[in-house]
Every structure is written in structure tokens, then in C-alpha cells.
Amino acid sequence: MELADLANLAQPPHLRTLFADDPRRAERYVFKVADLRVDVSKQRITDDLVGSLIELAQSAGVEQRRDAMFAGERINVAEDRAVGHVALRMPADSSFEIDGVNVVPDVHAVLDAMAVFADRVRADDRMTHVVNIGIGGSDLGPAMAYQALDAFRHGRIRCSYVSNIDGADIAGVLADADPASTLFIVASKTFGTIETLTNARTARRWLVDALGEQAVPDHFVAVSTNAERVADFGIDADNNMFGFWDWVGGRYSVDSAIGLSLMISIGPDRFREFLSGFHVMDEHFRTAPLTENVPVLLALIGVWNANGLGFDTKAVLPYANELARFPAYLQQLDMESNGKSVDLKGQRIGHDTGPIVWGEPGTNGQHAFYQLIHQGTRIVPVDFIGFARAHHDFQEHHDLLIANLIAQSEALAFGRDNRSEPWRHFAGDRPNTVILADQLTPSVLGQLIALYEHIVHVQGTIFGVNSYDQWGVELGKELANQVTPELTGSPDPGAHDSSTNALIHWYRTHR
């Protein structure tokens, strides 16, 4: 079975027919993994089709590449690196070897240092505001998780996240900050990311203007691997720098030192629960047979939707306001990983790769884009995410929220026949998955993130791409470094195309 063969497989009948012909469909296509209940019964699949998809996974080497990742092999071939994010959440007595060295003790040494620091900040009544300065994985992960785990936050400490080079981003945070009670975390592996360092220098000037140069060591810490640059900035690299490793990609790093702001917010014990959620999903992915492996099955269904049925987007719709940033987090995880057009050997790919991922929390989206996903000409597969219990006391609100989740899943799948009034006709047969858990906890959030991480890994294997590099972010940044001095008058632009030259000239006359 090859990826190209998917287009030749017979499409299943309408979901109405599939359910009518199989009274046990809703039981057979529901899977339990850790704390998650995953219902794929409303996907356009049959037993025969799933069998073909399993054959595809086997022929693509999904098991072998999974095992190679867990063995610490250098599966990131473009950068000749291991892919070790699963080591970040292993128990202290585990082993994960890279080049013959068990990295788990180093991981726990950093976690222990983070815990000591987090406890110190949480005990210091003077500190009430933590500002994380990063971009990409150094921002999206901790910002998403901080919002998701709102119910577990420290009562005194709030966190803000600055990532955009647009000065409005940091201006808004500093306008609402008190220098004496603010701690800045500068998160940059190389300590050279231009967006992050520009924002960090602005924050440093703001602090120095208020408190003087001597305040910098007490109000800045770094998450980085470049001790020299960190020290040049004025941060104590020996005590206030928390490291991570080149085998951790940015979009896979929220459970590393990049999550320091989250650990300060929810505390070291809750952060360890967060890590344990990742690990239980890792173990399921590592050990479960393909026919029962939930990340593998969800990945295969996604490949079927995209490459078999031609549905080129996927909406992730959490019915939990705390997960409002989860779709944006998954955008980076999926599209930066699998948005590639060359394979592992550098050859041009002739098939579609990763889907376009998007979404908003329910029920807001119902009054925006649900019109298209119900009655539009483009079919959009959907992942619904919801929880049995909320962290607030407004039970009537929560009942209505989950009623909407269940109703939307039903409506998309089965529609409503009303051909006498075509504008009220709902064709249905719109595939969707429903993921439920009792409550959104640190462990459950870790499980959800790891679930999608492994989906991306499996799909990247089937697409034949390297899910662990991101060269596509480089060209625009390189050109921006060239354009920046040209905007201020020196040198004079002229080496670009006529449109770009005109844009530079326009800005120079209007800035």
C-alpha cells in the first residue's frame, strides 16, 4: 500500500448509512488512552479502509521510524540531530541515549534547578509579574499552557508573553508592569533571535531607567544554551540560565526549560504532573500495536482525509475557553513540521503534505465560520475537544457548552434533509473526531499535546518529510536583515525587484 493508492480506494457510503448498517459503530470506533476518550466513529472510515491505512503505515515504516526516535537515532537528517523531546518527560530512573550518553539525568538536573528557582519566585512577595520574552516555540507553548491551566495558577503571580517584533506588543505589557515586581525570562536557544533580543533590550532599558543597571541580575533570567551572550546581556549565566539541547526543537520544547514561566505559575509539582501526561501518551505511542495506537490511527485518518478525500484543511475546535490558543499552538506544531515539499533525500514531493490547521474555541466559532463547515463547498474535517467538568461554578453554562459540542458533531455528520428549502438543507457526511476528558488538568494537557506531537510524527513519516527542521522560516528573516538598514536611509535600496524597491522608498518617505 502506497500513499498514491489512497485516491483509488472506494469512498465509504454516507455516515448515515455507516451508522444504520452497524449498530455497534459508536462502540467499535471509540478508543480510551490515558484520560482521553477518542471517538472517530464519525470519520468516513470502514474496517476495510482502516486495514488499508494500517498497511500504508507499515509500508511507510511508521513503526521503524518511531522506534528510531525513541532509540535516540539522528532522524533529523537535514541537521544530523537526534529527536529527543520524549526524554524531557521521562522519569528520573529512565534511560534515553543519544550518541551513547543517557541524557535523562541532565534533563532532571535542569528540572530540579527550575524547581528551586520557581519555588523561590513563588515565595517572594515582591514578585507579582513574570514576562516571558520569546517567539515561536519559545512563546506559543508556554503562553498556550499558561492560559489552559488558569485554574492552577499562583494567586499572586501573573504571566505575560511578548513575542511580536511589533513594539505595540511589549509596549502594552510594560505599560501594565511595575519594574520592582517584574521578572523577565528571555527564552532563546542561541540568544541571538532578532525578535527576542530586540524585545529583551527594550525591556532591559525600561528596567534600567527605573531601577538602575544593578537591578538587571535580579530581574532577568535566561533560557538558552549560549552562556557567553547571556552573560554579556547582564544575566548571571551560572545561576540564572536554564539550558536545553539541540535535540529539542522549539515547537517541542514547552516541557523543557522553555516552560519555566509555566512552572512558576502552576508550581513544580503541577509541572511534574504536566510532564507525566506527556509520558503516558509517549508510552502508549511507543508500545501499542498499530491497530490500537490512537496517535497512529488519528494520523492515518488525517492522511485519508487529506490525500484520499482531498480535504486540505483541519479545524481544531476546543469547547473550553482555556484552550483558546491551542489551535494556534497546533498550527506551528503541524505546519512547521510537515509543511514541506521535499522528502528526506531532498527530492521534490509529488503529493500533498501537511494540512492547513486552524480553529477557534466553541461556541464563538459557531457564529463565525461554522456556516462554511456545515454548508460550504469545501469539506473541513474537525477535531472537537471538550471536558465533562469545568473549573468554574456556572454549571448551566457548561451544560450548554457541551450540548453545543455534541450537537455540532451530530449535525456535521448526519445533516438534515430539507430539499424543499435548499438553504435549510444540510448534506452532512462531514467527518469529525470528538476528544473528551473528565477535566482539563496539567496531566490531561500534556496528554493532548503529546497526542498531536505523535500524530505529526506519523504523518511526516508517511509523507516522507523531515518533521524536525524548519528551513522555511529562514529566507524571509534573512531578507529582513538586509531591508532593515535600507529603511532608515543607508544603503540606498536598489538590489531588489521593482515592487520591493518601491515599498522601501514609500516607507522611507512616510516613516
Can you give the pLDDT at residue 464? 97
In order of 19, 31, 384, 413, 416, the CA distances from 42 in angstroms are: 9, 13, 11, 6, 15
In the three-class reduction of DSSP (H, G, I as helix; E, B as strand; rest coil), residue 356 is classed as strand
- Neighbouring CB atoms inside 10 A of 29's CB total 20
DSSP one-letter string for 121-190: HHH-TT--EEEEE--THHHHHHHHHHHHTGGG--SS-EEEEE--SSHHHHHHHHHT--GGGEEEEEE-SS
Type of residue found at 1: M
Can you give the pLDDT at residue 419? 86
User: Contact at 8 Å (CB) between 206 and 174?
Assistant: yes
Can you give the pLDDT at residue 326? 98
Can you give the pLDDT at residue 166? 97
User: Contact at 8 Å (CB) between 359 and 315?
Assistant: yes
Catalytic positions, written as ranges: 336, 367, 477
Can you give the pLDDT at residue 313? 97
Name the CA radius of gyration of the chain, rounded.
24
In order of 41, 184, 352, the CA distances from 122 in angstroms are: 45, 14, 48
User: Where are the alpha helices (H) located in 267-383, listed in sequence order?
Assistant: 268-287, 294-303, 326-331, 337-338, 370-375
User: Contact at 8 Å (CB) between 185 and 256?
Assistant: no
Type of residue found at 190: T
Can you give the pLDDT at residue 302? 98
User: Contact at 8 Å (CB) between 141 and 246?
Assistant: no
Q: What is the DSSP letter of 355?
A: P
User: Contact at 8 Å (CB) between 9 and 309?
Assistant: no
Q: Are strands 220-223 and 182-187 parallel, antiparallel or unpaired?
A: parallel
Phi, psi dihedrals of residue 32, rounded to the nearest 5°: -115, 125
Can you give the pLDDT at residue 489? 77
Can you give the pLDDT at residue 477? 86
pLDDT tens-digit profile, the chain (511 residues):
899 999 999 999 999 999 999 999 999 999 999 999 999 999 999 999 999 999 999 999 999 999 999 999 999 999 999 999 999 999 999 999 999 999 999 999 999 999 999 999 999 999 999 999 999 999 999 999 999 999 999 999 999 999 999 999 999 999 999 999 999 999 998 999 999 999 999 999 999 999 999 999 999 999 999 999 999 999 999 999 999 899 999 999 999 999 999 999 999 999 999 999 999 999 999 999 999 999 999 999 999 999 999 999 999 999 999 999 999 999 999 999 999 999 999 999 999 999 999 999 999 999 999 999 999 999 999 999 999 999 999 999 999 999 999 999 999 999 999 989 999 999 999 999 999 999 999 999 999 999 999 999 999 999 999 999 999 988 998 899 889 999 987 767 668 999 999 999 899 989 8
Can you give the pLDDT at residue 495? 83
Can you give the pLDDT at residue 492? 72
3-state secondary structure 14-80: CHHHHHHHCCCHHHHCEEEECCEEEECCCCCCCHHHHHHHHHHHHHHCHHHHHHHHHCCCCCECCCC
Q: Are strands 382-387 and 432-437 parallel, antiparallel or unpaired?
A: parallel
